[in-house]
Each structure stands twice: as structure tokens, then as C-alpha cells.
Structure 1
């Protein structure tokens, strides 16, 4: 598994295609949720992803403070179906949190979690900060990680 993190400008056309392809496969097709996947935030983001056999297998979009929220944020977190349950999601989140902690140590990290994944994110010190709400007809909660660099994860 090869891990990469790049700004939008650093992505090749093929890398961007692979990222958008898996995001649409999971968030639009698999979850049967037609919504505007390309939302204008990608250009401001760092794109963290793992590739195996020339396919993106894990991905997260990392946004600096003041982009989507006042806090830094993690979004579009995914693991390919054939890699779920292997620990790849945990590795992805560890890398995402570490990157944001190193680059934006003075700000919390925020994310929108699908409600079923709340316990997964709680293992990385994220705490619920909202009631459950529907986003594209899927129950979500907002979560924030207030601790800064050096914090131990619970998993």
C-alpha cells in the first residue's frame, strides 16, 4: 500500500480521476445518494490516499481552518469495499489527524460523520457536538476533536 498526500495542484489527471471515481462509487452509487460530489472544496484541500494495484483504496480530504468550518476538517473519508475490516480506515484516520495536528496545531478538527460511524471517530478523540440531522437523506452528526498534537488515540 502506497500512501500519498497532495494538494489539488499537485494531483495528476489520473490521480484526480481515481479519487473522484472511488468517491462517486461509494458516496453516490453504493449509498444510493445522488448529491453534488464535486462541491468546490477540492481545490483548497490536501488529498490523502492509499493506492494498491493502481487503485485508490482509502481516501480523506483535509481542509484548512476557515475553508469549510472555522476549524480544520476531515471529509470524504472512505475505504474501498474490498479493504473494509482490514484496519485501513484506522490507518487513514491516524494519518489524517496527524497531518492536521502538525499543520494546524492550534485549531480543533471537525467532521461530519454518518451516524453509524460515530464510535469509529470517537476512537480518535472526536466528540459529538450536534444532534442527529439528515444530510442527503443519511443520518449524520457533527464531531470535533479538541485535543492537539501528541494526543493518544483510544484504538
Structure 2
């Protein structure tokens, strides 16, 4: 899968619509979580998305240090339900980590991860920090990668 990285202003309206549709499909509908996805953080992040047959099937947004946490950060990690069996989530995290190194010239990353994905993120070098907490009604943990 080829991953594309764009700033908010570089996204065209079709790309933005497809990204928001995927985020809504997974975070609101699949996870049955009513929350404010449009948080005005998209404008200050870089958007990484993977295309398959002209459809966005994998997506994250990344932040420079201080943009969300003290360290650089990865958020809104999402892979379309029907595409998860292909390992695109691992490819997406690797692409996001590389984009942080390339664009922000740092390697320290902090994330707010859903608890059930702890092992997934540990496989990419993230370590749990602190106690579990609720974010939008879903159990999360803070994780760091140095």
C-alpha cells in the first residue's frame, strides 16, 4: 500500500470527505461512540492515508512536538474493517513513525491508545505510561516511544 502525507491545506475536498467518512464509520458507528471528531486539530496536523482502489482504507494524523502532547504524536489511527486482515494497521503505524522522523526530525512519540490495542502498539516499540483512563467513554492508555 502506498501512503500519502499531506497537510490540511493540501488535502482536496474529496480526500477530506473520504477521511472523515472513514473516521465516522469506525469511531462513531462501529465503536458506537458519540464524540466530537471535528476538533480543529486537523488543521495543525499532517494527514497520512493509504489508498486501495482509489478508496482511503487506512489513516492517521500526526502532530509535531507540542502540537498535542509534549512529544510528537499519532492519532485517529483507523483501518477500514474489511481491510484489517491484510496488516495495513502495522504498515500505517510504520509509515506514521517514519513521517514523524522525516517531517519533524524527532523520534519521541506519545499516543493515547485504546486499551485493547496495547499489544499492537507494543509491537512497534511503544511502552505504557501511567494508569488507564476514559476518553470519550472508551478505556485508553498513554504510551511512549523513544
Do the structures match in fold with TM over 0.5? Answer: yes
- Is the helix fraction higher in 1 or 2? 2
TM-score tier (shorter):
over 0.9
**Equivalent residue number for residue 71 of structure 2:** 71
Identify unmatched segments of 5+ residues in structure 1: 147-155
- Corresponding residue of 2:127: 127
- For this pair of structures, how many residues does the alignment match? 146
The TM-score, its normalising length taken from structure 2, stands at: 0.95
Shift of 1:137: 1.2
What TM-score does the superposition give when structure 1 sets the normalisation length? 0.90
Q: Give yes or no for the alignment of 1:6 onto 2:23.
A: no
**Other-structure match for 1:15:** 15
Q: CA RMSD in A?
A: 1.1
Q: What is the 5 A alignment of 1:31-50?
A: 31-50=31-50
| Matched ranges for 1:1-155 at <5 A | 1-106=1-106, 108-146=108-146
Instruction: Tell me if structure 1 keeps the 8 A contact 2:5–2:46.
Output: yes
1:99 Cα offset (Å): 1.2
Is the 1:114–1:141 Cα contact (8 Å) retained in structure 2?
Answer: yes
Question: How many Å apart are 1:129 and its aligned residue?
Answer: 0.8
